[in-house]
Amino acid sequence: MADTRQNYVGGEWTTADTGETVDVVNPADPSEVVYTYQNSGAEDAATAADAAAAAADDWGATPAPERGDILREAGDILADRKQELTELLTDEEGKTHAEAGGEVQRAIDIFHYYAGKTHDMGGDVKSSSGQNTNLYTVDEPVGVVSLITPWNYPIAIPAWKMAPALAAGNAVLLKPASVAPGPAHAIVEALDEAGIPDGAVNLVTGPGSEVGTEFATNDAVDAVSFTGSSQVGNMVYDQATEDQKRVQMEMGGKNPTLVMDSADVDEAADIVAGGAFGVTGQACTATSRAIVHEDVYDDFVDAITGRAESIEIGPGDEYDMGPQVTESELEGTLEYIDIAEEEGATLVAGGGEPEGDHLDDGFYVEPTVFTDVQNDMRIAQEEVFGPVLAVIPVADYEEALEVCNDVEYGLAASLVSNDHSEINRFKRDVEAGVVKINEATTGLELHVPFGGFKNSSSETWREQGDAGLDFYTISKTVYENY
Model confidence at 134, in pLDDT bands (50, 70, 90)?
very high
296 φ/ψ sector (left φ>0, alpha ψ -120 to 50, else beta):
alpha
Are 412 and 477 contained in the same domain?
A: no
Per-residue pLDDT, averaged over 416-426, amounts to 97
Domain check: are 386 and 424 in the same one?
yes
pLDDT single digits (tens) 139-163? 999 999 999 999 999 999 999 999 9
CATH number, residue 398: 3.40.309.10
Burial 81-115 (b: 16+ CB within 10 A, else e): beeebbbbbbbbbbbbbebbbebbbbbbbbbbbbb
The pTM of the whole model exceeds 0.85: yes
Coil, strand or helix at 162: helix
Q: Which residues pair with 25 in a beta bridge?
A: 33
Phi, psi of 258 (to 5 degrees): -90, 125
Do residues 238 and 339 both lie within one domain? no
List residues with catalytic annotation: 250
User: Which pLDDT value is given to residue 318?
Assistant: 87
Of 257, 281, 291, 273, nearest in space to 441 by CA = 257
Query: Has residue 65 been placed in a domain?
Result: yes
Distance from C-alpha of 122 to C-alpha of 99, rounded to nearest angstrom? 36
Judge if 287 and 163 occupy the same domain.
no
Residue 443 domain-assigned (yes or no) = no
Contact (CB, 8 A) for 390 and 290: yes
Q: What percent of the chain has pLDDT over 90?
A: 97
DSSP conformation class of 211: I
- The gap between the terminal CA atoms of the chain, to the nearest Å, is 69
Q: How many domains does the chain have?
A: 2
Question: For residue 201, what are the contacts with CB-CB under 8 A and spacing of at least 6?
Answer: 8, 162, 166, 171, 172, 174, 188, 191, 192
The CATH code of the domain that includes 187 is 3.40.605.10
Range of the domain at 310: 255-437
Are 31 and 160 contained in the same domain? Answer: yes
Predicted pLDDT of residue 274: 98
Q: Residues 368-380: what's their mean pLDDT?
A: 97
**CA-CA distances (angstroms) from residue 1 to 25, 179, 320?**
12, 18, 30
**3-state SS string over 77-140?**
HHHHCHHHHHHHHHHHHCCCHHHHHHHHHHHHHHHHHHHHHHHHCCCCEECCCCCCEEEEEEEE
If asked whether residues 240 and 371 sit together in one domain, one would say no
Quick check: is 136 in a domain? yes
235 and 209 in a single domain? The answer is: yes
Q: Which of 443, 461, 273 is nearest to 368 (CA)?
A: 273
In-domain check, residue 446: no
Per-residue DSSP letter, 320: S
Could you tell me if 124 and 202 lie in one domain?
A: yes
CA atoms of 57 and 192, how far apart (whole Å):
19
In a domain, 105, yes or no: yes
Same domain, 366 and 468: no
Contact 465, 447 (CB under 8 A): yes
**Mean pLDDT score of the chain, rounded to an integer?**
97
469 pLDDT tier (thresholds 50, 70, 90) = very high
Residue 45 lies in a domain: yes
Contact of 185 with 179, CB cutoff 8 Å: no
Which pLDDT score is estimated for 290?
Answer: 98
Q: Please indicate, yes or no, whether residues 243 and 262 belong to a single structural domain of this protein.
A: no
259-290 pLDDT, tens per residue? Answer: 999 999 999 999 999 999 999 999 999 999 99
Domain membership flag for residue 447: no
pLDDT tens digits, one per residue of 211-260 = 999 999 999 999 999 999 999 999 999 999 999 999 999 999 999 999 99
The pLDDT of residue 453? 96
* Integer Cα distance of 232 and 225 in angstroms: 13
> Helix 156-167 crosses helix 64-80 at what angle (to 10 degrees)?
160
Segment 160-180 shows an average pLDDT of: 98
Q: Backbone phi, then psi, for 311, in 5-degree steps?
A: -75, 130
| Same domain (yes/no): 136, 35 | yes
Q: Per-residue b/e over 127-158, b at no fewer than 16 CB within 10 Å?
A: eeeeeeeebeeebbbbbbbbbbbbbbbbbbbb
pLDDT given at position 164: 98
246 and 262 assigned to the same domain: no
Examine residue 452 and state whether it is found in any structural domain, yes or no.
no
Strands 133-141 and 125-126, bridge-based pairing: antiparallel
pLDDT surpasses 50 at 1: no
pLDDT for residue 420: 96
CA dist 367 and 365 (Å) reads 7
